[in-house]
Structure 1
Amino acid sequence: MNPTGIPDDIIERACEGKTTKEDALFLLGIPPFRLFELADRLRYETVGDTVTYVVNRNINFTNRCVGNCGFCAFRDNTGYIMDIPQILEKVKEAESLGATEVCIQGGLLPDVDIDFYTSMIRAVKAEYPHIHTHAFSPMEVYHAAKQSDITIAEALKRLRDAGLDTMPGTAAEILSDRVRHIICTDKLRTREWVDVITQAHVAGINTTATIMYGHIETIEERIDHIMLIRDIQKRTGGFLEFVPLTFMPYNNRIGDEMINAGRYATPGIQDLQLYALARIILNTHISNIQASWVKLGKKLAQVALFCGVNDLGGTLMEEKISSSAGSTNGQFMSAQELEWFITSSGRKPLQRNTTYKPILNSNPTQIKLKIA
């Protein structure tokens, strides 16, 4: 036993990227600041004191959806659908503000096929070939393939050929079919999410990985989820980052049920424990752990930098999904404010692109970055 109170064998396995489920459960039972200390040490050994961010814009092209996710407050079946000129106008505005990425996602429309998605990407790339297109969740790809009566592999090929650069690893929620049967019965199953993500990696399309936690799942299911992400990364190496997303409990069915039972998602300490645990379980496999300032709030996201986090995500410019579910943390944070948050934490800010390559457009800094 070392001074942290964590057994040496657990620390050794963490350093080697071999943390077990039993190790993770033990770490959740110790005083949280000991857990944070280990995660912070692994963060430093992996990426140093650099904290990254990306200048980007979210574009949610429709809030109409045929899905029935019980956690969604964004869906409105009498809502809006953007046409391509409207999407291009948002990309133009993002570019004028220095964005290097647009993140494009939306609800599932009943009468669209793969051509709907490829035409969107082609239009953006035709006008703005230098803008990185980070678009379409595994659920959207699955839906497009099913609507078009083509394979997942063919759908991914067409999207890639149209100019899709990377994909967000959303629609994961909790990768447990027990949970998914309750919170999103119409959504793709765990093995189907894994299949889409794995095929994307094989096709040369990098993705992110997410977890949406703090609703009906157990602690063990959270750990299993992170370990499944680790298993996929061992096989494909295609994940760029891991992004924990705390459940927003307002204006949706699952949240209403929780609130009626006297529960309000996760307390801040649990959020920080999950970030720390993600760093430890994914050590040597995924280098970048991102804190969502929209979900956590700016100040708790800053604290997360001492719990294994090395990335603060994007400027966003516009964020509709979390705000519709009760987030009050804003929809835009400038690069200047992000850098201030980072430097006031004693860390070194660095603007990056989507694939974690540095963009050196200001003061040079010592960089210690690894692609996941």
Structure 2
Amino acid sequence: MMSKIDEELVERAYNGKTSSEDALLLLDAEPFELFRFADNLRYEAVGDITTYVVNRNINFTNRCIGRCGFCAFKQDEGYILKTEEILAKVEEAYKAGATEVCIQGGLLPKAGLDLYTGILEAVKEEYPSIHIHAFSPMEVYHAARTSDLSVKHVLRELKKSGLGTMPGTAAEILCDHVRKELCPGKLLTAEWVDVVTSAHKTGIRTTATMMYGHIESWQDRIEHMMVVRDVQKETKGITEFVPLPFMPYNNPIGKKMIEQGRYATTGIDDLKVYALSRIIFNKHINNIQASWVKLGKKLAQVALYCGANDLGGTLMEESISTAAGANNGSSISPQELEWMIKGASRIPKQRTTLYEIDNIKKESFGNGPREAGDAVIYS
């Protein structure tokens, strides 16, 4: 174990040039040295502000033709929300002061472009001020394939219909040898990169995620981050990186792990992932989000000392992680998020999806949408 991190490695990290070899070496560092290094980079990038967004998750269907071994959400005889049911959920979010709705769903066999544009247009017609963060790269790829259209055409139509940003989900681990076993039939690494890159070039910014802690190695995790960094170097379109620990319950991959005596990731490994994320993405992606749903509220606080600077959203409802065994809740109030952030000696700020920090009076929460003041973008 390294007692001290090599000075040349430190210099490369400060310059945004951490290599895969550097990242592997950092895994041998004393954990709290690694965490301290990541925390220093976090402070240089964004200071002591920790952000969150007031949002709502809407999963419009849990039916899916996919064969992902990690999924506990899919149901063959599941639900499909009607447009009025989606709008009712948006209205609840709007009245609660949400600035964003995040809309995703399973892959329906005949779901063409019209399904997705129809959802967007219905929401925008009733709630023009709310930001729609919707549809994974897999959903975009599926819409293009089902409608016999190009990905670029689909993205242009989605934007025209009101899509604001896209979640960079369906990434799992961006290594095809892992994807072949983990999510057969899902888009390949190059296809994920193509959809995300095309979205950025269409003017649709995205997040980027990584679901780790199943069948992949540390080398695979690092390769995933390098793929994401290459995309960001080309397009500058990624707003945040979100590491998501795998929930090993109620799904085939998790069942195999538990039979082998392997369970969810350890807290130390989770914190190492956050630290490496900050180090690898330094000078490229400023915002590293800690998922309180996946980590739990207390470990999410600790992650703020290991490179993270954002705690995600209020969600209002969360189905996918809960189905896979997450037991940390499916909703949180802005007040509790701010209490968590202050408890970590950080400065809480509500943000928009695009990391604009608005001058918002928090006492207006629950009284409809807030009026935004001058925004500062630091992503």
Q: TM-score range by the shorter chain?
A: over 0.9
Q: Following TM superposition, by how much is the alpha carbon of 1:370 offset from its aligned partner in structure 2, in angstroms?
A: 5.3
Report 1:289-328 matches (<5 A): 289-328=288-327
Where does the alignment leave 5 or more consecutive residues of structure 2 unmatched? 363-373
Report 1:10-29 matches (<5 A): 10-29=9-28
For the residues of structure 2 that align with 1:174 and 1:265, how far apart are their CA atoms? 16
Q: Following TM superposition, by how much is the alpha carbon of 1:4 offset from its aligned partner in structure 2, in angstroms?
A: 7.1
Partner residue, 1:53: 52
TM (norm. structure 1) is 0.97
Aligned to 1:257, the other structure's residue is in SS state helix
| RMSD, aligned CA | 1.4
For the residues of structure 2 that align with 1:74 and 1:105, how far apart are their CA atoms? 12
Counterpart amino acid of 1:222?
R
Residue 321 and residue 335 in structure 1: after superposition, are their counterparts in 2 closer, same or farther (change >3 A)?
A: same
1:293-328 CA-to-partner distances (Å, cap 9, x unmatched) read 000000000000000000000000000000000000
In 1, are the aligned partners of 2:249 and 2:255 still within 8 Å (CA)?
A: yes
In 1, are the aligned partners of 2:358 and 2:376 still within 8 Å (CA)?
A: no
Residues 1:208 and 2:220 aligned together: no
1:183-231 CA-to-partner distances (Å, cap 9, x unmatched) read 1101001100000000000000000000000000011000000011111
Partner residue, 1:217: 216
Q: Following TM superposition, by how much is the alpha carbon of 1:5 offset from its aligned partner in structure 2, in angstroms?
A: 1.0
1:52-91 CA-to-partner distances (Å, cap 9, x unmatched) read 0000000000000000100000000101000110000000
Partner residue, 2:186: 187
In 2, are the aligned partners of 1:350 and 1:360 still within 8 Å (CA)?
A: no
Partner residue, 1:162: 161
For the residues of structure 1 that align with 2:360 and 2:3, how far apart are their CA atoms? 40
1:217-254 CA-to-partner distances (Å, cap 9, x unmatched) read 01100000001111110000000000000000000000
In 1, are the aligned partners of 2:359 and 2:375 still within 8 Å (CA)?
A: no
Aligned to 2:34, the other structure's residue is in SS state helix
Partner residue, 2:120: 121
In 2, are the aligned partners of 1:172 and 1:212 still within 8 Å (CA)?
A: yes
1:132-182 CA-to-partner distances (Å, cap 9, x unmatched) read 000000000000000000000000000000000000000000001000000
Partner residue, 2:368: none
Identity %: 62
In 1, are the aligned partners of 2:3 and 2:29 still within 8 Å (CA)?
A: no
Partner residue, 2:95: 96
Residues 1:346 and 2:345 aligned together: yes
Aligned to 1:79, the other structure's residue is in SS state coil
Aligned to 1:220, the other structure's residue is in SS state helix
Counterpart amino acid of 1:104?
I
In 2, are the aligned partners of 1:46 and 1:370 still within 8 Å (CA)?
A: no
Aligned to 1:102, the other structure's residue is in SS state strand
Partner residue, 1:254: 253
Aligned to 2:166, the other structure's residue is in SS state coil
Q: Following TM superposition, by how much is the alpha carbon of 1:368 offset from its aligned partner in structure 2, in angstroms?
A: 12
Counterpart amino acid of 1:287?
N
For the residues of structure 2 that align with 1:307 and 1:362, how far apart are their CA atoms? 30
Counterpart amino acid of 1:300?
L
Partner residue, 2:129: 130
For the residues of structure 1 that align with 2:216 and 2:205, how far apart are their CA atoms? 27
Where does the alignment leave 5 or more consecutive residues of structure 1 unmatched? none
Q: Which runs of 4+ in 1 moved over 4 A?
A: 367-370
Aligned to 1:43, the other structure's residue is in SS state helix
Partner residue, 1:334: 333
1:258-287 CA-to-partner distances (Å, cap 9, x unmatched) read 000000031000000000000000000000
Counterpart amino acid of 1:56?
N
Aligned to 1:77, the other structure's residue is in SS state coil
Q: Following TM superposition, by how much is the alpha carbon of 1:22 offset from its aligned partner in structure 2, in angstroms?
A: 1.1
Partner residue, 1:150: 149
1:316-346 CA-to-partner distances (Å, cap 9, x unmatched) read 0000000000000000010000000001111
For the residues of structure 2 that align with 1:64 and 1:252, how far apart are their CA atoms? 15
For the residues of structure 2 that align with 1:47 and 1:26, how far apart are their CA atoms? 26
Residue 101 and residue 4 in structure 1: after superposition, are their counterparts in 2 closer, same or farther (change >3 A)?
A: farther
